[in-house]
Amino acid sequence: MKGNRVSVIGAGAFGTALALAFRQAGREVTLWGRDAEAMAALDAGRDLGALFPGASLPTGIRATADLSEAVLAGILVMAVPTQALRQVSEAVALVLPQGRAVISAAKGMEQRTGAFATEILAETLGAHRFGILSGPSFAADIARGLPTAIALAMADATDAEALARFLSSPGLRLYHTTDIRGVEIGGAAKNVLAIAAGIVAGLGLGDSARAAMITRGFAELQRFARAYGARPETLMGLSGLGDLVLTASSPQSRNYALGLALGQGRTPREAIGSGKLAEGAFTAAILAESAKARGLEMPIVDAVTAILEERLSVGDAVRHLMARPLRGE
């Protein structure tokens, strides 16, 4: 791999955690954030307490708000939310030299267009090598160096393997694949299904119901992904089943926490407005719309969408799902 520097665009919890992991891999890291004052303070004081209590930014990571500095690295990891990715990428495009590897760590579909992350990057940045990084991972675990495994997808197999080796650290293990769309769909759909899992938990319906919901939700994820040509092994891997299991079973998941609040009686407006960003809330409607356009049945995704749009109560949604005709599995 040419050079030893990687830039992380986005200094939120996940981007900062990735920067820490890449530094543990021995890389020189530039961490970019849009707030110039905050990034200057971080670079000078090195205190990460607001994100990760007791942690500090190690030597070898440069914090900056200067995009022209950040894009000097040969590898850019775009760790910004899906709904903000286009805006940030358009700014990056103004200063980005040719021949870079640009990898998105966003999970979702653009609400306005239905585009996946690599499609947004291709539209805004032009001719570069694009990839997606996704899998079962919480920022706090990565930041602490706890064992975590995720998938990296690039169009070229040799490129994917080389980048996975370059970015892997003692705590963060990257598995490589060329199934970009399969990895992207897993990351997008599991967020919506995690909201459903949280709703089941919030209603107190029990672990059996939650297990059934996750299983039937995974069937919906597979159905949708196959329509896009995703590979079965991708869906059964880290970025599909693995990420769904994690996200649909832990209150650390923002999407699960949103569903939990909905199940406990909060309105969508209250639940969304009071917590941290849950990508599934933005992805649900476009995922349901895309499925319908392809003639695919995704009743759990439809139910979550109806709840978020306040067209259906949580109780009625559960009753409708339980009243669906019995069928073969």
Give the Cα separation of 29 and 253 in Å (integer). Answer: 27
Whole-number Cα distances in Å, 178 to 135, 161, 175, 230: 15, 9, 11, 10
For the chain, the maximum distance between any two Cα atoms, rounded to a whole number of angstroms, is: 62
Strands of 112-196 (E only): list them: 129-134, 148-154, 172-177
Phi, psi of 154 (to 5 degrees): -135, 155
Classify 6 as helix, strand or coil: strand
152, 129 Cβ separation under 8 angstroms = no
2 is catalytic: no
H or E segment to which residue 186 belongs: helix 180-202
Give the Cα separation of 80 and 11 in Å (integer). Answer: 8
Q: Which of 2, 107, 190, 292 is catalytic?
A: 190
Phi, psi of 295 (to 5 degrees): 70, 30
Classify 297 as helix, strand or coil: coil
Give the Cα separation of 202 and 194 in Å (integer). Answer: 12
Whole-number Cα distances in Å, 254 to 104, 238, 276: 19, 19, 7
H or E segment to which residue 245 belongs: helix 243-247
Strands 28-32 and 148-154: unpaired
* Residue 204, burial from CB neighbour count under 10 angstroms (0-12, 13-18, 19+): exposed
Catalytic residue set: 190
